[in-house]
Structure 1
Amino acid sequence: MYQGQCLCGSVQFKLHQKITDIVMCHCSECRKVQGTAFATNGNVRNENFEFISGENTLTEFKENANKSRFFCKTCGSPVMAKLKNNPDHTRIRLGTITNDIIEPIEKHIFTGSKANWDNICDNVTQHKEW
């Protein structure tokens, strides 16, 4: 259903399902990881996530006891995250998806800590925290 890749194309993958739980996260951690105002992420079940190439090109950053983030070693693109408290899913960075995403964004989260220069300009539900 979906294909994705990092900036340099070393890491390529397919998603064999719709993307669920799509959120725009405005927390300070996501801003640092993405280098911009927010991160847009969604879930896929692990069995519906398939690497085409470059799985060995990923490097893991263990952010805390629950969360690991994975980046391309070559270009630095953030590709995905894994949460120990959600072990059956992979959290995909939607900016890596190369075809049109049909599922809607469900909500903005951590808007209470969004960047002061960030203006949310849509009618999607907002939550000050998770």
Structure 2
Amino acid sequence: MVRIAYKGSCLCGDVQFEITGSFQSFYLCYCQHCRKDTGSGHASNLFSNTATLNWLQGADSTTTFQLPDTQHIKCFCRRCGSALPYQSETLGIVVPAGCLDTNVELRPTAAIFTSSKPGWAAHLDDLPSFDLFPS
């Protein structure tokens, strides 16, 4: 059996990691916690209860915040603030998709907590699209 490995890192490069295994789900989460956590309309997280997380560099540069009385956890680089993977007792390994340097073939499997979706996040497929920052 071939084990798939995904590499990832933070923005400043202090932290590097590898996820070995496969993901069971890929959720776009619109809950208020994820929106505040990312500063965006939703979080994009991959989930696996079978993969392994291996810190290749900078594990001591990571820190974790858990919102009290919730399951909401964020692991991030102390230097640049980039979101990083973490191991959850209930969810398995949770990987912010944007921190991966390796392409993931899995498409999002569901949008969750859509009742919290901000109005400005509707109909985004209708927007003009640019390959680079528009001039």
- Asked if structure 1 preserves the Cα contact closer than 8 Å seen for 2:21 and 2:51, the reply is no
What is the match of residue 128 of structure 2? none
Any idea what the Cα deviations from partners look like across 1:4-26, whole Å, max 9, x if unmatched? Answer: 01111111111111222110001
Unaligned runs of 5+ in 1: 123-130
TM superposition score normalised by structure 2:
0.79
Is the 1:23–1:106 contact (alpha carbons within 8 Å) kept by the matching residues of 2? yes
CA distance in 2, matches of 1:48, 1:84: 13
Gaps of 5+ in 2: 126-135
Q: Distance in 2 between matches of 1:58 and 1:68?
A: 13
How many positions carry a matched residue from both structures?
A: 120
Paired position in structure 1 for 2:89: 84
Superposed structure 1 runs of 4+ greater than 6 Å apart:
none
Call closer, same or farther: CA 1:13–1:45 in 2, change over 3 Å.
Answer: farther
Displacement of 1:60: 1.4
Q: Could you state the TM-score of these two structures normalised by the residue count of structure 1?
A: 0.82
Asked whether 1:100 is paired with 2:113, we answer no
Superposition RMSD on alpha carbons, in Å? 1.9
The farther-off stretch of 59-68 and 98-107 is 59-68
Post-superposition Cα deviations, 1:26-83, rounded to whole Å, max 9, x if no partner, equal: 1111011111111000123476211101111011112135443211000001113443
